[in-house]
C-alpha cells in the first residue's frame, strides 16, 4: 500500500519538479523576453526578462500590410489564414483518405495487400524534400504554384502513408467482436463501421489528424519552394524572412514565433479531451 509522503518528501519532489519545468521552459521564456525587448540585438541574459519592454516587434509582425493589385492587404492575416486553411485541409483530406484505407488493411484479406503496405512503407524512406523539384514541375504544369490547393495536395500525399499506418494499428486494436455484435444486432458492415468502429477509434483519429495538421503547419522547405508571392506564404516561410543573409531581425523572429505558436497551443488545448486513450476500455473482457 502507498503511504502518504512526508512534508519533506513532498517539498523535495516539488523542488525537483520546479527545476525540471524551469529547465524545459527556459528557452521559451528567453524567446518571450526577446520578443518584448526594445533593444536592437539579443544579449546573453541569465534571467529572461525583456529589456526596455515594448510591443513594437509584435505589432510589426502582426500588423504587416502590403499592396496587392492596388489594394492594401493585411499580410499577416493572409499568411495565418494560408497556414490554417492548408493545415486543416491537409489533416482533413489525409484522415479521410487514410481511414478507409487503414480499415481495409486492418480487417480484410485481398490480393496485393502486403505489397501495397510495403510500397507505402517505401514512400516513408524518402524525405519530402527529395521530391520538391518534381512536385514544383507538376504543380507548375497544373497551374497550382502559389496556391493553397497545390500545397494541400503535396502535404496530404506525404501525410497519408503515416496516417494509414497509425490508423491501421488503431483499427487492429479494436476487437472484431464489436463489429460482429453490431452486425448481429442489425447493422450493415458499413453502419457497424460508422456506429461502432469510428467512435472507438476516435482518440487515434484525433491524434492522427493532429499530427497531419502539425506536419503541414510547421512545414517549411516545400512551402518555400512552391510559394514565391508574399501574400501566399505560410507562417514558417514568413518567419524565415526575418533572418536574411546579412541581417537577422531576432526580435521580430521571436515575436513571430510566439504568434505562430498560439494556434497550435489552442488546438492542443481543445483536442486534449479526444487525445485521452482508453476509450475502448471495458468494451470487451478484462
Partner 1 sequence: MASVTVTALKKKFGQTEVLKGVDVRVPEGHFAVLVGPSGCGKSTLLRLLAGLEEADTGKIELGDRDVTRLEPRDRNIAMVFQSYALYPHLTVRENLAFGLKLRKTDPAEIENQVKRASDMLGLGALLDRLPKQLSGGQRQRVAMGRAIVRKADLYLYDEPLSNLDAALRAQVRVDIRKLHDELGATSVYVTHDQVEAMTLADVIFVLNKGQVEQSGAPLEIFDRPATKFVAAFLGSPAMNFVEGALERAGSAWVFRANGLVVPVDEATFAGGLEPGRKVTLGVRPHEVALAEGGGETTKLVVTVVEALGPETYAHGEIAGAPFIARVEARRSIKKGETLPIVFRSIHLFDAATGTSLRAR
Q: How far apart are CA 37 and CA 73, in angstroms?
A: 28
Q: How far is the CB of 88 from partner 1 (least distance, A)?
A: 25
Q: Is 173 in the site for partner 1 (CB under 8 A)?
A: no
Residues in the chain: 286
Q: How far apart are CA 171 and CA 95, in angstroms?
A: 13
Nearer to partner 1 among residue 185 and residue 228 (C-beta) = 185
For 86, how many CA atoms within 13 A lie in the half-sphere containing its CB?
32
CA-based R_g, the chain, Å: 24
Contact with partner 1 (CB under 8 A): which of 27, 177, 266, 277? Answer: 177
Q: Is 108 in the site for partner 1 (CB under 8 A)?
A: no
Show contacts with partner 1 in window 200-229 (CB under 8 A). Answer: 200, 202
Q: Is 183 in the site for partner 1 (CB under 8 A)?
A: yes
Q: How far is the CB of 200 from partner 1 (least distance, A)?
A: 6
To which residue does cell 490554417 refer?
84
To which residue does cell 534571467 refer?
47
Nearest alpha carbon to residue 90 among 133, 149, 39, 140:
149
Q: How far apart are CA 187 and CA 198, in angstroms?
A: 14
Determine the size of the site formed for partner 1 (CB under 8 A). 26
Among 133-141, 142-150, 257-265, 277-285, which window interacts with partner 1 (CB under 8 A)?
277-285
Contact with partner 1 (CB under 8 A): which of 58, 196, 205, 255? Answer: 196
Q: Is 188 in the site for partner 1 (CB under 8 A)?
A: yes
Q: Is 274 in the site for partner 1 (CB under 8 A)?
A: no
What DSSP designation does 128 have? G
Q: Which residues bind partner 1 (CB under 8 A)?
A: 175, 177-178, 180-188, 191, 195-196, 199-200, 202, 278-285
Amino acid at each position: 500500500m502507498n503511504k502518504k509522503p512526508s512534508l519533506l518528501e513532498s517539498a523535495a519532489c516539488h523542488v525537483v519538479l520546479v527545476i525540471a519545468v524551469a529547465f524545459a521552459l527556459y528557452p521559451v521564456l528567453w524567446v518571450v523576453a526577446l520578443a518584448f525587448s526594445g533593444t536592437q540585438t539579443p544579449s546573453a541574459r541569465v534571467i529572461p526578462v525583456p529589456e526596455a519592454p515594448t510591443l513594437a516587434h509584435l505589432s510589426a509582425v502582426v500588423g504587416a500590410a502590403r499592396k496587392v493589385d492596388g489594394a492594401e492587404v493585411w499580410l499577416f492575416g493572409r499568411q495565418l489564414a494560408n497556414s490554417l486553411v492548408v493545415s486543416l485541409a491537409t489533416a482533413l483530406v489525409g484522415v479521410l483518405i487514410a481511414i478507409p484505407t487503414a480499415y481495409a488493411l486492418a480487417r480484410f484479406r485481398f490480393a496485393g495487400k502486403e505489397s501495397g503496405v510495403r510500397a507505402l512503407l517505401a514512400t516513408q524512406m524518402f524525405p519530402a524534400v527529395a521530391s520538391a523539384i518534381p512536385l514544383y514541375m507538376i504543380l507548375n504544369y497544373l497551374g497550382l504554384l502559389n496556391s493553397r490547393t497545390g500545397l494541400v495536395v503535396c502535404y496530404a500525399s506525404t501525410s497519408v502513408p503515416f496516417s494509414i499506418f497509425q490508423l491501421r494499428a488503431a483499427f487492429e486494436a479494436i476487437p472484431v467482436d464489436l463489429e460482429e455484435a453490431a452486425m448481429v444486432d442489425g447493422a450493415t458492415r458499413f453502419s457497424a463501421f460508422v456506429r461502432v468502429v469510428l467512435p472507438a477509434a476516435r482518440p487515434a483519429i484525433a491524434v492522427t489528424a493532429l499530427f497531419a495538421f502539425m506536419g503541414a503547419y510547421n512545414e517549411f522547405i516545400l512551402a518555400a519552394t512552391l510559394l514565391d508571392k508574399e501574400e501566399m506564404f505560410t507562417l514558417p516561410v514568413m518567419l524565415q524572412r526575418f533572418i536574411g543573409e546579412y541581417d537577422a531581425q531576432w526580435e521580430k523572429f521571436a515575436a513571430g514565433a510566439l504568434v505562430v505558436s498560439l494556434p497550435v497551443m489552442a488546438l492542443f488545448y481543445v483536442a486534449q479531451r479526444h487525445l485521452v486513450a482508453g476509450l475502448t476500455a471495458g468494451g470487451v473482457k478484462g
